[in-house]
Amino acid sequence: MSQSDRKSTPMLEIGDLHVSYGQVDAVRGVSLSLNAGQIISVIGPNGAGKTTLLAAAMGLLPSKGVLRFEGEDLHGLDVESRVERGLCLVPEKRELFGELTVLDNLQLGAYSKRLSGAALRQRLDWVYERFPRLAERRSQRANTLSGGERQMLAVGRALMSQPRLLMLDEPSLGLAPLIVRDILTIVRKLRDDGVSILLVEQNARAALESSDEGYVLETGEIALHGRSESLASDPRVQATYLGGATHDDD
């Protein structure tokens, strides 16, 4: 794909998307575009509709509006078909198999790709290279991991499906700032491996530091959109999401 093709066809195209829970409209006319190789963040407060937006993109919830992956309409494709196309979601609740080991959890992540034998081992090595901590703890049960390790496992498991677009729902949730930094550093490096990222975060500072562009979602609608560094210096974003000018999590 040439540079100009990439520009003309976004990897993920969301247009005037609506998602409802019965009478409650949780996502109301959201438009968002992500090009291959980009890291895009969506920030916003509790209840803004961030998780709902990702769930709809993944096919876990029905939606109305434009929803395309590499030009293909996603409506009508079930979750498994979307995973086959290269989409993957790391959910807000990590949803690991607590009684199973790190290795078992990772292997289950490759299930949709039906990897086995040498291909499976190769992919495991690939994940272990990026998360050496998981390699050290491969025989440990998931429910005995620390919070940071669990998040690494959730991301590692998603990577086993060889996604081209990884959607992360609040990877920083419940983690200390240093661990958040570690995880986001790994996430940023995934771009070099050809993985694009849609990053949903309440931690606006970390998200804007890690992304190319950001969207501010408020009560189901996009309130602001721009280059991440412009958003980070926008007084409205600073006042509401960055705690004024203070660096409270440094």
Residue sitting closest to Mg ion (CB)? 51
> Which range of residues in 45-53, 75-83, 100-108, 218-226 is near Mg ion by CB under 5 A?
45-53
Strand ranges for 112-229 from DSSP E = 165-169, 196-201, 213-218, 221-227
Binding of Mg ion by 52 (CB under 5 A): no
Bridge partner list, 43? 201, 216
CB 186 within 8 Å of CB 131: yes
* Residue whose tokens read 């190769």: 122
Give the amino acid at 192. D
CB of 41 to Mg ion, least distance (A): 14
CB of 55 to ligand ATP, least distance (A): 7
Angstrom distance (rounded) from CA 127 to CA 138 = 11
Angstrom distance (rounded) from CA 244 to CA 235 = 8
Residue 88 contact, options Mg ion, ligand ATP, none, Cβ 5-8 Å cut-off depending on partner type: none
C-alpha closest to that of 188 among 212, 157, 163: 212
Site for ligand ATP in 85-114 (CB under 6 A): 92
Near Mg ion by CB under 5 A: residue from 38, 51, 105, 151: 51
Residue 86 contact, options Mg ion, ligand ATP, none, Cβ 5-8 Å cut-off depending on partner type: none
Binding of Mg ion by 151 (CB under 5 A): no
Q: Would you tell me which residues interact with Mg ion (CB under 5 A)?
A: 50-51, 92
Q: Would you tell me which residues interact with ligand ATP (CB under 6 A)?
A: 21, 24, 26, 44, 46-52, 92, 202
